[in-house]
Structure 1
Amino acid sequence: MKIATYNVNGINGRLPVLLRWLEMEEPDIVCLQELKAPDDKFPENEVQAAGYQAIWHGQSRWNGVAILSREGEMHETRRSLPGDPIDDQSRYIEAAVNGILICGLYLPNGNPRPGPKFDFKLKWFERLESHLLSLFDLDAPVICLGDFNVMPVDLDVYAPDRWREDALFAPEVRAAFARLLKQGWTDALRHLHPDEAIYTFWKYWRGAFERNAGLRIDHALLNDKALARLSAAGVDTTPRGWEKTSDHAPMWIELDGKPRKRETINDRAGNARKRRAS
């Protein structure tokens, strides 16, 4: 099973790119971010024609999230994080799909820092920590995917010293991401590619994509039951080179149909915990 996350940077403006990528790669489940479209403007018919059912939490301007699936019926379980009844930003959606709980998110950018936007980002992160803690030990695979707007370590930034003061690389934000790993969640891409500089975002200007001057801000976090089925993870950079495309590339994982042998599970989980403790 292939599960992906893709910040489309405007679903209607980038719809030809999204549909082309869906046809080419045929992911089974996709979390989308930054729809920039209210609920009634989501292109449901086009997505269904591509073979996917969808649930979405739309909003104009910079927000909006969705989950697409061709894995059977989806059962929506949540469409906003608990903890702030006045938060009206469409940034979280959650559904059970074929025995897997999928959590799709678009974490706030937080710039400029310091300021109210950065404060909101930290509070939103606290709410995410609390909610994910309640999900980690479920008796099912749980995967949290999306645009986290966080570069966890220096390896995730093409020029770390240029980003030290940015809200995506601030010590408080990196510490918040690290706390998720301390809960037990595994960063799927870094788990399988511990020493590789792999990026998911490149600015539009100054030839950033051509120079591979990127950032890794799109992530997939897995609980132990999902980790037991993890077989591959990567970033599909091809659509980032297309015309009128998003500044993000799809990040994906693949799960086996059943858990790996116990020895492999224990080795992988033990190695992940060692890295979290270091």
Structure 2
Amino acid sequence: MRVVTWNVNSVKPRIPRLLPWLDERQPDVVCLQETKVNDEAFAAELGDELAARGYEFAHFGEGQWNGVALLSKVGLDDVRTSFPDAPGFPDPAAAPEGRAVSAVCGGTRIWSVYVPNGREVDSDHYGYKLDWLSKLRAAVAPDAADTMVCGDFNIIPTDADVFDPVALAGHTHVTPRERAELTGLLDLGMRDVQREHWPDARIYSYWDYRAGMFHKDLGMRIDLVLAGEPIAERVQAAWVDRKARKGTKPSDHAPVVVDLDTAPDGNAGPMVPPPSRPATVAPGSVKLPHSVAD
């Protein structure tokens, strides 16, 4: 079973990229984030095309911002939007944003999540991010062994997962409290399957559009696939499809591909194709083109 997570950064303009990519890579389950449409618009834009390719789908989004989806060729059972006690924003008691959807696909509970950005440390957005992650952990915990949590976590797991940790100092995505929430999910017995598969490799999944960051390979790894122990043992390949980040009107994120049981493209490598001229930078020598990724 091929499981993919991809922040498409607005699904409508990405349809000319998404549909040919589905035909090329033939994933069984796709977790999308940041669709920026509501449920009705997602169905109107993509429903017929997905059905023609054999996909069932579930989408949770309020339009304009956020939005997550699951596409599946291997079943889509017990669909759940959000999770118990998920906080809203700015009022925690408000209805939850379109940031999580899950279903049983091929016998596995799979989540597509779009973790809040956090924006600035100690802001209301940052507190919301930490609260959201804590509640997600509580929701995943009972069935963690048989679960995959896939998506844009807006957390850089370690300093090895960013082109320059000094450039991120003082920003969100790298703070001890955010990383502790991610560790909390791993402490449930879940595993970061791509990093585990390529422990010493340079791996990024997001590159800012500006300042030539993609061409220099100055990125960060914030799109993750976490899997319970029995599922992680089935991983045959785990890689970032850099090809999908190239060309005309790409998302600023690339898909993360995880193959269970069989690997149609072999043990392809950490990023496919690998960057041809990755830049190396002195710590602190490159200024971020904006505050932090989304």
**What TM-score does the superposition give when structure 1 sets the normalisation length?**
0.88
Q: Which residue of 1 aligns with 2:121?
A: 113
Q: Which runs of 5+ in 1 are unaligned?
A: 258-278
- C-alpha displacement at 1:179, in angstroms? 1.8
Structure with greater proportional helix content: 1
**1:194 — aligned with what?**
199
Q: Which amino acid aligns with 2:28?
A: D
- Separation of aligned partners in 2, 1:150 and 1:252: 19
1:38: which partner in 2? Answer: 38
Deviates more, 1:94-103 or 1:212-221: 94-103
Counterpart AA for 1:233: A
The offset of 1:161, in angstroms, is 0.6
Cα distance between partner residues in 2 of 1:186 and 1:162: 27
Q: Distance in 2 between matches of 1:234 and 1:2?
A: 11
Which deviates more from structure 2 when the two are superposed, residues 82-91 or residues 55-64? 82-91
* Pairing 1:135–2:143 present: yes
Give yes or no for contact 2:33–2:152 (8 Å, CA) kept in 1. Answer: yes
Distance in 2 (CA, whole Å) between partners of 1:227 and 1:239 is: 25
Equivalent in 70, 82, 87 of residue 80 of structure 1 = 82
Determine if the alignment matches structure 1 residue 96 to structure 2 residue 104.
yes
Equivalences for residues 224-239 of structure 1 within 5 A:
224-239=229-244
Indicate if the aligned counterparts of 1:142 and 1:225 stay in contact, CA closer than 8 A.
Answer: no
The whole-number CA distance in structure 2 between the counterparts of 1:144 and 1:88 is 18
Per the alignment, residue 68 of structure 1 pairs with 71
What code does the residue aligned with 2:129 have?
K
Instruction: Work out the number of aligned pairs and report it.
Output: 253
Matches within 5 A, 1:201-216: 201-216=206-221
User: How high is the TM-score relative to the length of structure 2?
Assistant: 0.83
- Residues 168-177 or 49-58, more deviating: 49-58
Alignment of 1:163-174 (within 5 A): 163-174=168-179
* Bigger shift: residues 46-55 or 152-161: 46-55
What SS does structure 2 have at the residue aligned with 1:27? coil
- Equivalent-residue separation in structure 2 for 1:99 and 1:177 (angstroms): 25
User: Which range moved further: 18-27 or 76-85?
Assistant: 76-85
Percent identical among aligned pairs is 36
Q: Show structure 1 runs of 4+ deviating over 4 A.
A: none
For 2:139 and 2:174, the matched residues in 1 are separated by: 23
CA distance in 1, matches of 2:73, 2:95: 31
Taking the aligned partners of 1:46 and 1:172, their CA distance within structure 2 comes to: 41
Q: Is the 1:58–1:65 Cα contact (8 Å) retained in structure 2? A: yes
* Counterpart contact for 1:19–1:50, Cα < 8 Å: no
Task: Write the deviation string for residues 174-201 of structure 1: whole angstroms up to 9, x where unpaired.
Answer: 1111122122110000110111110000
**Deviation per CA, 1:64-119, whole angstroms, max 9, x where unpaired?**
00000112x31133111211453420001010112111111000000022210011
Greater Cα offset, 150-159 or 86-95:
86-95
Which of 43, 47, 52 is residue 49 of structure 1 equivalent to?
Answer: 52
